[in-house]
Amino acid sequence: MTLIQIPDTINSDLTLICGYTFNEPELSANEFVIVEDRASQRNYFGQVVSPQANLNRSALGPQDNATINAFEQLEQNNYARDVVVQEVYFYQVNLIKDITQDPPSSIRRRPQIGSIARQATEDEIIRYLNLPPADESYRIGEIIDTNIGIYLSSRTLFYQSLIAGATGSGKTNSCANYIRAALQMGFAVIIYDHKPDYQHINRQNQDAIDILNRNGQANRDMTWVEGVNANFYYLGEESTAFQGTPIAIPASEFDPAVLAAVMYYPPNETNPREEFETFLEEFDDEQQAEQNNNEPVIWTLGDFFQWVTSNQNPWQPPPHRRGQIDMRTYRAMVNKMRRRNRRPAWVDGGMPIDIRGNPNGTRGRNSSASAAVFGQDQTPLQPQWFDPTNLLQPGRALVIRVGQAGGGRDYGLFLNYMLKRVYDLKEQRQITFPVLHHIDEAQDLFNGSKQFASAMGNVLNEGVRKGRSRQIAFTIAVQSAAQIPDDILNNLNTRIIHRHNRASEAQRALEKASDAQISMTKNFGPGEALVDLFGASAVVNARMRLSPFQLTTEELLQQQEQQLQQEQQSHEELFAQEEEMEF
- N residues, the chain: 583
CA-CA distances (angstroms) from residue 4 to 51, 91, 111, 323? 16, 10, 11, 85
Strand partners for 5: 19
Q: What is the pLDDT of residue 340?
A: 80
Q: Which helix (H) or strand (E) holds 515?
A: helix 515-520
The helix (run of H) or strand (run of E) holding residue 119 is strand 116-119
Nearest Cα residue to 476 out of 510, 438, 445: 438
Distance CA 241, CA 555 (A): 11
| Closest C-alpha to 435, from 477, 400, 389, 480 | 389
User: Please, which residues bridge with residue 55 across strands?
Assistant: 88
- What is the model's pLDDT at position 566? 72
| C-alpha distance from residue 49 to each of 149, 335, 539 (Å) | 21, 61, 11
Strand 87-98 to 42-48 pairing: antiparallel
Strand partners for 312: none
The alpha carbons of the chain give a radius of gyration, in whole angstroms, of: 30
Q: Give the N- to C-terminal CA distance of the chain in Å, as an integer.
A: 89
In angstroms, the Cα distances linking 302 to 114, 293, 358 are: 80, 23, 11
Alpha carbon distance 80, 93 (integer Å): 33
Contacts of range 138-142, beta carbons closer than 8 Å, 24 or more positions apart: 138/181, 138/184, 138/185, 139/177, 139/181, 139/224, 139/545, 140/174, 140/177, 140/178, 140/181, 140/544, 140/545, 141/174, 141/177, 141/527, 141/529, 141/531, 141/542, 141/543, 141/544, 141/545, 142/542, 142/543
Are 540 and 120 contacting, i.e. CB atoms less than 8 angstroms apart?
no
Instruction: Decide: 407 and 444 in contact? Cβ < 8 Å.
Output: yes
Q: Which of 478, 298, 302, 473 minimizes the C-alpha distance to 372?
A: 298
One-letter amino acid for residue 465 of the chain:
R
Taking 70 as the pLDDT cut, the residues of the chain under it are 218-219, 237-241, 356-382, 405-406, 448, 564, 567, 572-573, 575, 578-583
pLDDT digits (tens, 9 = 90+) for 473-501: 999 999 998 889 899 999 999 999 999 99
What is the DSSP secondary-structure string of 291-335? Answer: --SSSPP---HHHHHHHHTTT-SS----GGGTTSS-HHHHHHHHH
Number of DSSP helices (H) and strands (E) in the chain, helices first? 16, 19
Q: Which pLDDT score, from 0 to 100, does residue 172 have?
A: 96
pLDDT at 111: 96
Specify the DSSP element, H or E, that contains 89: strand 87-98
Q: With beta carbons less than 8 A apart as the criterion, state whether 518 and 510 touch.
A: yes
Give the pLDDT of residue 293.
74
Residue 1 near residue 26, CB atoms below 8 Å: yes
Which class would CATH give 149-247+395-552? alpha beta
| Residue 132, CA atoms < 13 Å, CB-side half-sphere | 23
